[in-house]
Amino acid sequence: MNAQDLFEIWAPSGGVWSPWAKPVLFAPAVGHEAAEERPETERRSPATWAPPPERDAALVLDLAGVEAVALGLECAEQGYRPVPLFNSCSGPAAIVDNHSIRNALALGASRLSKAGPPLDAPPAFLLDAGRMRGFPRPGCFDNRWMVFPQDLPSANFLLARGLRRAVLVQRGEGEPRDDLAHVLLRWQRAGIAVLAVDLAQSGEARAIAVRKPSRFGWFFYRTLAMMRLHPNSAGGFGAVVPQPSQGRGFG
Amino acid sequence: MIAPWSATPRLGRGEFEELRRRTIFECGKWDPQFEDVCVLADFALLVSPATWRELARLAERLAAEALAAERELSERPELHGALGLPRAVRRALRADGELGGSRGAVRVLRFDFHLTTDGWRISEVNSDVPGGFLEASSFGALAASLFGHELGGDPTSAIADAALREVAPGSTLALVHATAYTDDRQVMVHLARALEARGLETCLISPADLRWRDGRANVETSWFRGPADMILRFFPGEWLPSTPSECGWPFFFRGSRTPISNPGASLLIQSKRFPLVWDDLSTELPTWRSLLPETRSPREVGWRADPDWVLKPAFGRVGEDVGLRGSVDAREWRRIARAARWWPSDWAAQRRFEAVPLECDGERCFPCIGMYVVDGRAAGAYGRVARRPLIDARAQDIAVLVSP
């Protein structure tokens, strides 16, 4: 299966949520990226959590990459449309392991095809909770990344599709990560109820009030965040990012 | 006045979806969506051959004047303070006398043209790290074949051909960028493909992967170690001082014997405050003076009371933080105005121009044509189109095609 065919399965033409699917991990590996490709076997999600049967919720699965894909596939079997938002490259000596996510996406394609959630099924946005984890070392490939409000649909778009709740699924975390808080607080302020599920705990969904992250609501938050993080940067976010926080574009 | 441009008909949904997919996979565009908006326009901008020739001529003149001014400014450190350059960059540029300016090669500039009620005007030059090659070249070529018109130029090929004139086949080019940002990396991957197609080797790295010996750049990564025969930089010059000192970032500004595209000195003309030093230069800038709206220090003009002044950060990019009253929301304007009051030396005030809108299916939009000049020759255009008269991250990429 080539890259386009694989992407078509995860982001089918005509799919309501397909425009938001990030293509980077579906693109053919280039140069040194290809050197680390390796086959893996499909993993099943260890989660016992089931998404709400009502069709008024958008899911945000912020889990270790492969687990997010695995749970996304389970959600697909229950009528949700997984939307991969993984937004960084893979490569040797990379800080964030994207190879396993690439493989999980490839291996999960047939299962997703079989599940065949409708094109307008509620979305399950897939994020890698490890996107900001790790520190740059000399000679390594800093591929850490962040999620920004423009990476997801607006609250207005969600509401127009009848989605009145957002369910954040994490493991070992009660609060959304700082970058994701920028998205969820916008949604919450627009009238979307935000619930959080911690798979390491009971797996019960509880309503949360998303705390206001720094620079919330700034139109140029992305650029400013990147500028702020850039001191000591090694080309990516650099050593200044011990706590995942806030990214950018030019020319 | 006969409009120098027009819009093609919009593509049908299926055709556009196909174009979008091909742009992702054939051109390598990984950021096709911005919130609820596709960043690719479903129509193209058509300009007449005469308009294309005029813009190309103007861009080449602007480039020649700008590079002459850059050379003079490199020798005039007393003027650097007025440009709003970070202190560390000023220090690095001042050392020129000892080590000599870093060797520039394959100079790439992009001039953003707007059609106004007074004719063509430019809003800025992107002389440091102009982007948009992927959209101008590959997306443009796809659109050209769909719409049945010609692409005016191909900046990617121009850059790759110019690189091949600079170094021998088989040479290694270090493509320096902020590796974590996929929207920057896609530009580097795009350029790497064009360079490799010409028999050059490429290495995609961060500036932190460079070490300098005798003024020559060496790459030290876990996947490649060795000398770089040339550097293509897509990492903003004003950010370089924030990289670790062992990476030798000052060599981007002085003392490099490895050719760099673009050298750090390009920041001298990238500054939106560049016009503030024109009267102190012996270099004549007639084309700049005729095309760039009046630009002053915020200290000198009454921008608070006069909405005809637009505030721009000295080193803002992609329209970021541009204070265009009435076009940015009130809260954003207050934040920008406060920053310009507190740090006026980091800002420029520029006379507002009235952009002429383009009608497309009854909808008004505001295009901007970014003309590339590579080593002195016009080399294609990056088109952007916005629903408001401000080109920023919400603007869409649009193919600029030349009508028969």
Q: Distance (Å, rounded) from C-alpha B300 to C-alpha B272?
A: 15
pLDDT of residue A40: 54
Is the pLDDT at B1 greater than 90, yes or no?
no
Q: What is the mean pLDDT of chain A?
A: 82
Domain membership of residue B258 (yes or no) is: yes
Q: Indicate if the pLDDT at residue A227 is higher than 50.
A: no
Residues B248 and B333 in one domain: no
What would the mean pLDDT of B64-69 be, rounded to a whole number?
98
| pLDDT mean over B68-92 | 94
Q: Number of residue pairs across A and B with CB atoms under 8 Å?
A: 167
Query: CA–CA distance from B308 to each of B186, B276, B325, B326, B331 (Å)?
Result: 38, 18, 9, 11, 19
The pLDDT of residue A33: 55
Q: pLDDT band for position A91 (50/70/90)? A: confident
Q: What is the pLDDT of residue A50?
A: 80
* Predicted pLDDT of residue A119: 96
User: Are the beta carbons of B208 and A233 separated by less than 8 Å?
Assistant: yes
User: Is B79 a member of any domain?
Assistant: yes
- The string of pLDDT tens digits covering residues B287-327 is 999 999 999 999 999 898 888 999 999 987 656 678 777 77
Q: State whether B142 and B63 are in the same domain.
A: yes
* pLDDT grade for A215, boundaries at 50, 70 and 90: low
Asked whether residue B281 is assigned to any structural domain, the reply reads no
Instruction: Measure the CA angle with vertex B398, ends B310 and B6; round to 5°.
Output: 90
Instruction: Using a CB–CB cutoff of 8 Å, tell me whether A250 touches chain B.
Output: yes
The last residue of a domain, from among B329, B351, B373: B351
Chain B residues within an 8 Å CB radius of A152: 35
Which of A110, A105, A93, A81 is closest to A33 using CA atoms?
A: A93
- Is A134 part of the contact surface with chain B (CB cutoff 8 Å)? no
Task: Give residue B259's pLDDT.
Answer: 96
Pairing mode, if any, of strands B400-402 and B347-351?
unpaired
Does residue B223 carry a pLDDT above 80? yes
CA distances from A60 to A125, A147, A195, A197, B70 (A): 5, 12, 10, 10, 50
- Do B397 and B340 fall into the same domain? no
pLDDT of the residue at B180: 79
Start-to-end CA span in chain A (Å): 36
Whole-number pLDDT of residue B395: 87
Does B370 lie in the same domain as B341? no
Q: How close does chain A come to B397, measured CA to CA in Å?
A: 13
pLDDT in tens, B355-374: 999 998 888 999 999 999 99
Q: How many domains does chain B have?
A: 2
CA–CA distance, B360 with B45 (Å, rounded to integer): 10
Say what the pLDDT of residue A229 is: 42
d(CA B386, CA B396): 6
Would you state the pLDDT for residue A48? 67
Q: A219 pLDDT exceeds 80?
A: no
Is B14 among the domain residues? yes
**Residue B96, pLDDT score:** 53
- Predicted confidence (pLDDT) per residue in A73-90, tens digit: 999 999 999 999 999 887
A87 vs A107: CA distance, rounded Å: 19
Residue B98's pLDDT is what?
A: 61
Helices assigned H by DSSP within B75-200: 87-94, 96-99, 133-134, 140-147, 155-166, 182-196
Single out the residue of B100, B362, B34, B357 nearest to residue B253, CA to CA.
B100
% of chain B at pLDDT higher than 70: 97
Tell me, yes or no, whether B210 and B308 share the same domain: no
- pLDDT averaged over every residue in chain B: 92
Q: Is the pLDDT of residue B129 over 50?
A: yes
Distance from the Cα of residue A217 to its chain's centroid: 20
Task: Indicate whether B289 belongs to any domain.
Answer: no
Q: Say if B288 falls within a structural domain.
A: no
Q: What is the pLDDT of residue A239?
A: 29
Let me know whether B260 and B302 are in one domain: no
Those residues with Cβ within 8 angstroms of residue B4's Cβ, 6 or more apart along the chain or in another chain: B47, B48, B50, B51, B54, B115
The whole-model pTM stands at 0.90
pLDDT of residue A62: 97
A132 Cα to chain B: minimum distance (Å): 10
Domain containing residue B318: 294-351
Q: Is pLDDT of B35 > 50?
A: yes
Rounded to 5°, angle at Cα B260 from B257 and B262: 145
> Are residues B165 and B138 located together in one domain of the fold?
yes
DSSP state of B138: I
One domain for residues B53 and B182: yes
Residue A102 forms contact with B (CB below 8 Å):
no
- Per-residue pLDDT, B99: 67
pLDDT in tens, A147-171: 999 999 999 999 999 999 999 999 9
Residue B87 belongs to some domain of the structure? yes
**Which residues in chain A touch residue B318, judged by CB atoms under 8 angstroms apart?**
223, 249-251
User: A41 pLDDT band (50/70/90 cuts)?
Assistant: low
Which residues does residue B175 pair with via DSSP β-bridges, in sequence order? B204, B232
Determine, yes or no, domain membership for B283.
no
The DSSP output letter for B381 is E
Residues B108, B185 within the same domain: yes
Contact A235 B221 (CB under 8 A): no
Q: Is the pLDDT of residue B78 over 70?
A: yes
**Rounded to whole angstroms, how far apart are CA atoms B340 and A113?**
54
Q: What is the model's pLDDT at position B97? A: 58
For A32, the closest chain B residue by CA position comes to B223
pLDDT at A136 over 70: yes
B78 and B155 co-located in one domain? yes
> How far is the C-alpha of B398 from the C-alpha of B385, rounded, in Å?
6
Q: Check whether residue B157 and residue B195 sit in a common domain.
A: yes
Per-residue pLDDT, A140: 83
Chain B neighbors of A13, CB-CB under 8 A: 17, 21
Same domain, B342 and B206: no
Q: Mark yes or no for CB contact A233/B130 under 8 Å.
A: no
